[in-house]
């Protein structure tokens, strides 16, 4: 790529553009700040030579990225509860409801899903709801064995005779049923999954602007460039290495801040390249930026910024 030198806008042109826009925005304020009592107010008498106190030549770097915001939540948790506790939980369902816009979602990103509820036979009681055990009263025989004392004959010989009858605790079965504590007698346990809310994959365009001038307009400039990149002229680069080596000859001026800005923009660009959810969607633009420090006739200080070439540039001001 041959060196392309970009021409910075003329200071008078920037000032002129600012004058026109400031006049459209607030004529009264212009008159108050630059007018002379008793004289007819005219824009022509407001000149850059008189009101621009200092000028800095800076630079800005711009590129656009596309971000995919997928479901941030990952993971899968499983819970198992006895039947009565299931009705005390809150469940969610997204079946047929489509995907969820993450910005509108209030609540956890992982939620219990209604359609995952599944009955599982209690392992402890094998789905009977009770545990069978030997009857403690009869020792499992189902019978109570006792003896009767019988006096036999004239001499009343004492004899013991066996006497057995069905056990009243187990109704003669010899076994006893004990409530299963695991399933609380409900035979079944219920398991369900706690899963991520199905968020929509949102792709958004994000402008990235780095400027060497300390300005609070960086965000605004970035947004504007995103919308009307063709309205502002800069030099396009397809990789950062080239930009780094061509920046100085392209701009025709250089300073420490520009150098620092380019290097931090470069590492930002690299981190976007590495991010798998991000896609860089534009070329890299290098823009000349002029920062003008001004003072009105009344002594109020303000700044004017231009971004772009003499051919196509935008202005910003805190006037």
Residues in contact with Zn ion by CB under 5 A are: 122, 124-125, 135, 137-138, 167, 169-170, 180, 182-183
- The CA distance from 159 to 149, in Å, is 6
**Minimum CB distance to Zn ion, residue 145 (Å):** 11
**Minimum CB distance to Zn ion, residue 124 (Å):** 5
137/193 with CB nearer Zn ion: 137
12/132 with CB nearer Zn ion: 132
Q: Is 293 exposed, middle or buried (0-12, 13-18, 19+ CB in 10 A)?
A: middle
135/265 with CB nearer Zn ion: 135
**Minimum CB distance to Zn ion, residue 89 (Å):** 20
- The CA distance from 61 to 57, in Å, is 14
59/122 with CB nearer Zn ion: 122
* Residues found in the chain: 319
CB-CB contact of 84 with 57 (8 Å)? no
Tell me the C-alpha to C-alpha distance, in Å, between residue 111 and each of 90, 100, 155, 196, 308: 9, 13, 87, 6, 50
CB-CB contact of 199 with 62 (8 Å)? no
**Minimum CB distance to Zn ion, residue 83 (Å):** 11
CA angle 118, 124, 125 (to 5 degrees): 90
Q: Could you tell me which residues are beta bridge partners of residue 193?
A: 78
128/312 with CB nearer Zn ion: 128
**Minimum CB distance to Zn ion, residue 191 (Å):** 14
122/209 with CB nearer Zn ion: 122
**Minimum CB distance to Zn ion, residue 177 (Å):** 12
Q: Which tokens is 315 given?
A: 């202005």
């Amino acid at each position: 790529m041959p060196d392309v030198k970009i021409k910075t806008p003329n200071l008078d042109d920037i000032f002129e553009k600012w004058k026109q826009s400031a006049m459209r925005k607030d004529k009264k304020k212009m008159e108050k700040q630059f007018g002379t009592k008793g004289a007819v107010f005219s824009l022509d008498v407001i000149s850059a030579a008189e009101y621009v106190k200092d000028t800095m030549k800076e630079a800005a770097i711009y590129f656009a990225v596309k971000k995919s915001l997928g479901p941030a939540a990952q993971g899968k948790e499983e819970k198992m509860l006895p039947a009565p506790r299931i009705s005390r939980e809150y469940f969610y369902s997204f079946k047929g409801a489509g995907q969820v816009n993450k910005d509108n979602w209030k609540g956890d990103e992982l939620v219990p899903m209604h359609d995952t509820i599944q009955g599982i036979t209690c392992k402890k009681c094998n789905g009977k709801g009770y545990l069978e055990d030997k009857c403690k009263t009869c020792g499992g025989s189902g019978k109570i064995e006792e003896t009767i004392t019988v006096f036999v004959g004239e001499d009343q010989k004492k004899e013991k005779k066996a006497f057995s009858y069905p056990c009243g605790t187990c109704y003669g079965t010899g076994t006893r049923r004990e409530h299963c504590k695991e399933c609380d007698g409900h035979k079944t346990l219920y398991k369900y999954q706690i899963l991520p809310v199905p968020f929509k994959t949102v792709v958004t365009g994000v402008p990235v602007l780095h400027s060497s001038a300390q300005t609070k307009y960086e965000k605004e400039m970035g947004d504007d460039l995103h919308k009307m990149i063709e309205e502002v002229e800069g030099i396009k680069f397809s990789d950062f290495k080239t930009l780094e080596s061509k920046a100085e000859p392209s701009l025709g001026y250089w300073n420490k801040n520009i150098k620092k800005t380019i290097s931090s923009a470069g590492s930002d660009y690299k981190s976007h390249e590495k991010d798998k959810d991000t896609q860089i969607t534009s070329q890299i633009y290098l823009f000349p930026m002029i920062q003008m420090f001004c003072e009105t006739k009344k002594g109020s200080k303000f700044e004017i910024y231009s971004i772009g070439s003499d051919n196509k540039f935008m202005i910003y001001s805190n006037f």
